Copies of this chain bind each other. A is one copy, B any other.
Amino acid sequence: MTEQTKYLLDESKLPKAWYNINADLPVPPAPVLHPGTLEPVTPDFLSVLFPMSLILQEISTERYIEIPEPVREIYKLWRPTPFIRARRLELALDTPAHIYFKYEGASPVGSHKPNTAVAQAFYNKQEGTKALTTETGAGQWGSALSMACNFFDMDLEVYMVKESYYQKPYRRMMIESYGAQVFASPSNRTQFGRALLDEDPDAPGSLGIAISEAVEAAATSGGTKKYSLGSVLNHVLMHQTVIGLETLQQFEMAGEYPDVIIGCAGGGSNFAGFAFPFVHQNLTEGKTTQVIAAEPAASPSLTKGVYTFDYGDAARMAPIVKMHTLGHSFIPPSIHAGGLRYHGMAPQVSALVDAGYVEARAVKQLDTFKAALTFLRSEGIIPAPESSHAIKVAIDEALQAKESGERKVIAFNLSGHGHFDMTAYDAYLHGELEDYEYPAEAVAEALHQLPQAMAV
């Protein structure tokens, strides 16, 4: 008898509400602080950047928040996404483990990012926002928000980390195809950007810097533009839970339940979106699934960072949150997983790691690409370098299960495909990739810049 490979959900099974972990967090969420006063922010301050509906979602403790019908209608262009049993990978590893993956690369832009981009564009449109500003690293977020703004007929300015702007022109072109404007960051469009260019006209930029520029562009627009963030914040994580909520249903179809759940973590949104519904089951239904966040060894906020209050951006204009951080001025080495190069980690993910409900593992670049190659030669799909961090941990778990003889059920989120990352594969295949060391001194320096009041 043939065994099933894919578990497809009919669109009638698309979740009707997102899951909000704030309702179940074992420790109360820390307050968000004003970057100037270091006092808890008021909704007024946040409303310069965000529409009120998203601010309310940010602080909500409701367990489920309804997904608006226009957002669900757009989700249906590609959702529910496939849930796939990686049988050929299991064979290649000769493991008794069952390996599953959720495939978010099935979205039009090839990643999980539209799950929140569409929601954010919708709420902004509803409150009369004319244009959004945002940053993008590797370009995944920029292309997702560009598609979303196009759907809701809104303008978009994307500040793209300069290094990626030139090294990943395909993503820049994709963003422009959907109609948004893209600027290499640091740019001369903002005060912060101009100051940096004055210092060094060839500055390669960083995600933190690009965030600062996008925030400045919105904050100084006189109310015509709002800012949109692709990760870290609670409303972003919540919008992503559509991934895990679908996966729960698909596990039911498969007649199994996971022993281990794995997601890669940069800002934390795809990890949270996949894992939080399972954390919920652990917290409230007595389940005992092991939940692992896989991060790059070159930018190891969870495994090597400090759990403290820090700025969300390099220019210290964005709100301050309590998170695992390498310091807001830390610029991670140029690893190919551009989407995982952020100095901090989502507060909700950080709190769960700190409290022991989520485990963090750091993965090296070369091991990651080796795992990616094993996966793509078994399953066909070329994974994004970001997602390959989760694959590496999944393979480790499957090999451990082989040693112990356990028939473990392992699932990871394949957050995106790697069609825009072929140069990274090329470099790996030609032996030109390196493992980057975690630059301990740079981080110590960066953490030293935290204001005294915010120290651990």
Contacts and interface: CB of A to CB of B under 8 A. Distances in A.
A109 to B, nearest CB: 7
Interface size class of A (residues with CB under 8 A): 35 or more
Interface string A99-114: 0000000111110001
A392 B127 CA distance: 36
Given A6-B76, A11-B5, A76-B5, A419 B170 contact: yes
Interface of A: 2, 4-6, 8, 10-11, 69, 72-74, 76-78, 84, 88, 106-110, 114, 147, 150-151, 169-170, 173-174, 176-179, 373, 376-377, 379-382, 419-420, 422-423, 425-426, 429
Q: How many copies make up the complex? A: 2
Indicate the member of A110, A174, A177, A379 with the most B CB atoms within 10 Å. A177
A88 B6 CA distance: 28
Contacts of A6: 11, 76-77
Contacts of A377: 150, 178-179
Given A170-B170, A420-B419, A380 B73 contact: no
Given A2-B73, A170-B422, A173-B425, A106 B106 contact: yes
Contacts of A109: 380
B373 A177 contact: yes
Contacts of A420: 170, 419
B108 A147 contact: no
Given A2-B72, A169-B426, 13 more contacts: A2-B69, A4-B11, A5-B77, A74-B380, A77-B88, A77-B380, A88-B151, A107-B380, A151-B380, A170-B170, A174-B419, A174-B422, A179-B377
